[in-house]
Amino acid sequence: MAANRYRHTRRFTAMTWVEKLSDSHNLRKCLRDLIALSTLPATWKDYQPQQIADSVSAALLTMLSADFVYVTLPGTRNGPSVEATRSGSRMSAAFVRAVEIAVRSSGSGPSEQTMLMANPTGAGELAIVSVPIGFTGTAKVVAGSLRSRFPNEKERLLLGIAANDATLAVSRWQSETEQRRLVTVIERSSEFIGFASMEGIPQYINPAGRDLVGLSLNAPISHLLIFDIIAERDREHARDTLLPIVLQTGRWLGELDFQHFQTGETIPFFVDWFRIDDPRTGRPMNLATVSRDLRNQKKLEADLRKVNESLERRVIERTTELDAQIAERERADARARDLQLELLHASRLSVAGQMAGALAHEINQPLTALANSVNAVRRMMANSNAHRIDVYREIMDEAAELALGTGRIIGRLREFVTREEAEMRIEALSVLIRDASHFALAGSAARIAQVRFSFDPKAENVLANRVQVQQLLVNLLRNANEAMMGSHRYDIEVTTALLDDEFVEIAVADRGPGLPAEIASHLFEAFRSTKRNGMGLGLTICKSIAESHGGTLRYEANPGGGTIFRFTLPSLPKNVPADAG
């Protein structure tokens, strides 16, 4: 049979073997082995699983006169299991490895298992018996021998005792390890941890807990009650209200004040107070607590409240300052708007003054004609000539029309020089431009240019302050007319175009000599003028008017000679009817 093959045999049944120990030599040897096994647990007291496995395998190899012993035990928490293998001189290293592989793969059942494995180096078979150790998983003791009829009942007994001893030793090691780990955690914890009897007598307080309440490490605590640790003002509440809750429900969490035994200081704690029950009977055994010192937390909370209060005061103060600044800025903006309106008004008065002579001439002509018509009617009536009534009516109609025309001239002048409100209305752009053109050129002392209009039908209405936009146009038209003095082409072109859904562009183009680059770069700066008697505010005011409407004013050279000024105004929104203004 091949070395790496084995077969299972039937499980051995229990049988009486005492009569086989009637020989005194065998009996003494059995007793020695049993005594030796019984002394091993005492030796294992401070052993770890690997040392226990090594000790068991070495002892069994001798006691059983075995050729192979394999022991596997659980290791540390979450760690791998530990193994120990001992073999006699009759087994080669290759045979040992083959047996190890076989017993590892065979698993661990709930009871003893046996198997036979061929000897690859000689005659006979290796009889193997596996005894489970009382743990879940693959923990077991395995022994093998090339002797026939292995194992006998005495050897089975020794294997069973060894497995039981290993089970107890590893269980004790695990328990003690967990206990040491728990004790270390408790001893090193910075929390107050304590245990007491059901009568409320403290049995243990960890070092940090003793330090927190002013108890020295060696100070006796058996004469105290748990309520002695609690501040006096909370004792009655803890005894009469909280303790019954712990006894009834098993737990209470909340804040309590403890008292420092040395200084009398009251210390706030967050207390987790609970009951410990016997896992076997379920009856209450102890009272315990894990409590956290809240002094640092309370201090941080107090500091945070102070910071918040300080921030709130600063926010209130800063808000008051900002309100005052906003109010002052609003007053300043209002003053600036008033000053701007005054400046615009003064600018219009200046233009009106320049136009006064020509306007007086325009007004004087219809007034003279009106006076002549009235005098003619008076003469005809004085001569008592019989005239038809329709002649009188025709003369008087003509006189009335002259009077209305004069009134319209005066009305437009009055509207131009009035102090306007800053409200914007829907205006007909073509009418606004034609009226501005009339004003601009009526008062010119120079040769009057011909104005040609090109109106985009899609840009008929705008949202604008009529007086301000007329002032802008008057300034641009007068500048254009004056720029063309001495020029061979004497015409101004005014065009409108819808740029998009938001703005309309108005362009005023002349055919003058244009502007030098050094002047064009400072064109819209205040108090810079190319006119001998100019103040240099005209174009600055024009730019301000355009920007107050949300638009822009810009200059560019006219490709045919001269200049072009373009400014934009808000177009009429699509959902607003043209007659809404």
Reported as a single tens digit per residue, the pLDDT across 157-199 is: 888 888 888 888 888 888 888 888 888 888 899 999 999 999 9
On whether both 69 and 164 belong to a single domain, the answer is yes
| Rounded-to-integer distance, Cα 340 and Cα 544, Å | 9
Instruction: From 468, 492, 489, 467, select the one nearest 478 (Cα to Cα).
Output: 492
In a domain, 354, yes or no: yes
> 172 and 312: one domain?
no
Instruction: Report if residue 153 sits inside a domain.
Output: yes
Burial zone of 441 (CB within 10 Å; 0-12 exposed, 13-18 middle, 19+ buried): buried
In a domain, 64, yes or no: yes
- Are residues 412 and 515 part of one domain? no
- Least confident range of 4-13, 40-49, 260-269: 4-13
Q: Is residue 278 part of a domain?
A: yes
Q: Is residue 521 part of a domain?
A: yes
**70 in a domain, yes or no?**
yes
Of the pLDDT bands very low, low, confident and very high (cuts 50, 70, 90), residue 424 is: confident
The CATH number of the domain holding residue 431 is: 3.30.565.10
Q: Which two tokens stand for residue 29?
A: 């040897």
452 with 337, same domain: the answer is: no
The answer to whether 494 and 507 have CB atoms below 8 angstroms apart is yes
Same domain, 289 and 336: no
- Asked if residue 348 and residue 305 are part of one domain, the reply reads yes
User: Which residue among 419, 451, 476 closes a domain?
Assistant: 419
408 vs 423, residue with greater confidence: 423
Domain closes at, from 269, 293, 317: 293
- pLDDT for position 7: 39
DSSP assignments along 505-532, one per residue: EEEEE--S----HHHHTTTTSTT--SST
What's the mean per-residue pLDDT of the chain?
80
Cross-strand pairs, 273: 252, 289
User: In 10 A of CB 51, how many CB atoms?
Assistant: 16
Structure tokens at 403: 């009077």
- 171 and 57 part of one domain: yes
> How many distinct structural domains can be found in the chain?
4
Contact 491, 451 (CB under 8 A): yes
Any domain includes 1? no
Beta bridge partner(s), residue 70:
85, 142
Q: Can you tell me the distance from the alpha carbon of 402 to that of 415, in angstroms, rounded to the nearest whole number? A: 20
In this structure, the answer to whether residues 276 and 371 fall within a common structural domain is no
Q: Which of 210, 153, 164, 147 is nearest to 56 (CA)?
A: 164
Is residue 351 domain-shared with residue 386, that is, in the same domain? yes
* CATH number of the domain within which 61 lies: 3.30.450.40
The C-alpha atoms of residue 550 and residue 536 are separated, in whole angstroms, by 23
pLDDT tens for each residue of 213-228: 999 988 899 899 999 9
More confident residue, 324 or 78: 324
Angle between helix 429-442 and 466-483 (nearest 10): 50
What is the extent of the structural domain holding 444?
Answer: 424-580
Do 307 and 393 belong together in one domain?
A: yes
In a shared domain, residues 263 and 156: no
In a domain, 435, yes or no: yes
Final residue belonging to a domain, choices 357, 389, 419:
419
Confidence (pLDDT) at 472: 87
Q: Which residues pair with 126 in a beta bridge?
A: 117
pLDDT-based confidence at residue 44 (cuts at 50, 70, 90): confident
Question: What is the rounded end-to-end Cα distance, in angstroms, of the chain?
Answer: 115
Q: Which of 290-304, 386-400, 466-480 has the lowest mean pLDDT?
A: 386-400
Q: How much is the pLDDT for 3?
A: 36
Question: pLDDT digits over 294-340, tens only?
Answer: 999 999 999 999 999 999 999 998 888 898 889 888 887 777 666 55
494 and 372 together in one domain: no
